[in-house]
Amino acid sequence: MYLSQVRNFLPYSRLGLMNIQNRCYEKVALKTTKSQEMENSKASMQSVGLTPKQIEMFPTAKVHIPMALTSREPIILPFDEVPGPKSLKYISNFRQYLSVIGTQITVGVLTMMLNVGTYVNAKKPLKNLSALFDEYGPVVRFVSPVGGDIVLINHPEHIQKVYAMEGSYPVRSNLDSLEKYRAEHRNQIYGGTFTAFGEEWHRQREVVVAPLHESVSKHMGGINEVCENFTLKIFNIRNYQDEITDNLYKEIYKWSFDCMGLILFSKKFTMLNTEVVYSQCDMSWLYHSLEKATDAIIKCESGLQFWKLLPTPTWSSLVKYCDSLDNLIGKYVLEAEQSVGVQLKNMRSNVSDESFALENNSLVNAMLVGENKMSAEDIATVIMDMLLIGVNTITSSMSFLLYHIAKYQRAQKILFSEIDKVGGDLNISNMSAIIEQTPYLQACIKESLRLVPPIPVLTRILPKNITIDRFNIPRGTLIIMSTQDASLKEGNYDDASVFYPERWLKGDAKEYHAFASIPFGFGARKCLGQNIAETMLSLLTIRILQKFKLEYHYGDIGSTRSFISRPTKALKIRFVDRI
């Protein structure tokens, strides 16, 4: 009777009603014993005038459904109700028949079967995430036959809710290939600032934050010099049509590498002015190893992951070049450690505090001294992460920024007018003032990062259950937040696919959801180098537009959905001299 009354007022499905009934019975059963139910039932029957003999005709007490259930109370659906590809759910039904052995071969073969028909290679996904959201909605579940289900989301409110529940030590999915390499070939318990988690991650981050930004401020003059070297290099390698045909991305990569060399090591790498002869100097070999290690990591993390089963050529390449990176970075760190030791020994008689700022201080030096100093091995790991992530994300961001400026001439005219007012003689020591004087440039950077964030998806593994779109997601589930899909959704931005910097200016800006575009992440694990990246992008853009007008006359350039967003084809941008 009670359920029929509820059905009249609530628009629930039949399945929903059955779930409500079951939950209500379970809830009451936990609170009352069987004898209490019988006594309550008898008391109710006596209150309506039934005699004891009549009461005996009802041997079973009815369970009362709480009246708190109203149309305002949201229904929380179980995890199994989250929509997703049915083929994966069918395969998961055979989970109980899998052998207890559960070897890497079994897992690898199943992973391969799931990926066949979905990915051809690391660059061209046949069915990207946006297509999944179009078919299944804002919450999509990938059912794994061997456990470890994945949930995909792209709605700003849902992304915000995930970040709100990430806890003090957020956990995200690691790069499996890099984690495997460090565990098997370096015997490292802890990862760097990108791959570590928990208290060790927090300790590393606290040690690195302040020295990193101080190093950037100290080397602004050197970074400006690298930017000017880049414009000179572009001037020299253009063809007769003022165009860079096929290696612009690589030149931007060299620029980013040279800048990070100053910030991390206080050294001038000068890759922009050097022909890469890998066997002749550490700097060239470090650049070559970084480039090759990045390619190997992207291939290992995308497509078919045979490297988990056997040593594939891609895995062997990753090991080779990560070994090289680790050895070369370790060499720099040991040299810095010896130098710091000598300086501290000489200063000890005059300076009581050993954390005193050393002469020619660098980020590595700063991590070697002080109360929270790190070991040489941990520093090498942190620096390796910063090179891998920093160089690649800044290169990606700068590449797409130049592409968007070259493609949208209206925006470029406004931007050049702003830069021209700032003047060519920049006060590099006060970069914050330059950024304040170039609001349209900052809007262009923000808009380009919205269209193509350098890392297209962010991940979290939450310590608690979470309800997303009325679906209960168990703790420990890998949640993939497709931030690029969120930033390109028409419901979140007007003309979302159009490069329109004015949307970020104070006079024209609308109230957009704060989590519709988060290219640098959010919260405790927000990108350490956001200010560094924005400063470098601003300075190089100013130097380029002071000398060149950018043009692009080819088809649209998309971005890969791999570990790092990269252009899907060559950046054939023309750099026309300004008269």
Q: What residues are designated binding site for heme? A: 527
Neighbours of 38 (CB within 10 A): 15
State how beta strands 458-461 and 478-481 pair. Answer: antiparallel
Of 508, 511, 471, 516, residue with least CA distance to 490: 516
Amino acid identity of residue 111, one-letter, is T
Of 369, 372, 374, residue with least CA distance to 347: 369
Amino acid identity of residue 79, one-letter, is F
Of 404, 427, 387, 376, residue with least CA distance to 559: 404
Across the strands, what pairs with 150? Answer: 142, 478
Quote the tokens at residue 11. 């628009």
For residue 141, the surrounding DSSP H or E stretch is strand 139-142
d(CA 99, CA 92): 14
Quote the tokens at residue 498. 């159009």
Of 366, 391, 395, residue with least CA distance to 265: 366
3-state SS string for 48-112: CCCCHHHHCCCCCCCCCCCCCCCCCCCCCECHHHCCCCHHHHHHHCCHHHCCCCCCHHHHHHHHH
Of 533, 500, 496, residue with least CA distance to 517: 496
**Which position has the token pair 């931005």?**
493
Binding residues: 527
Residue 432's SS3 state is helix
State how beta strands 478-481 and 150-153 pair. Answer: parallel
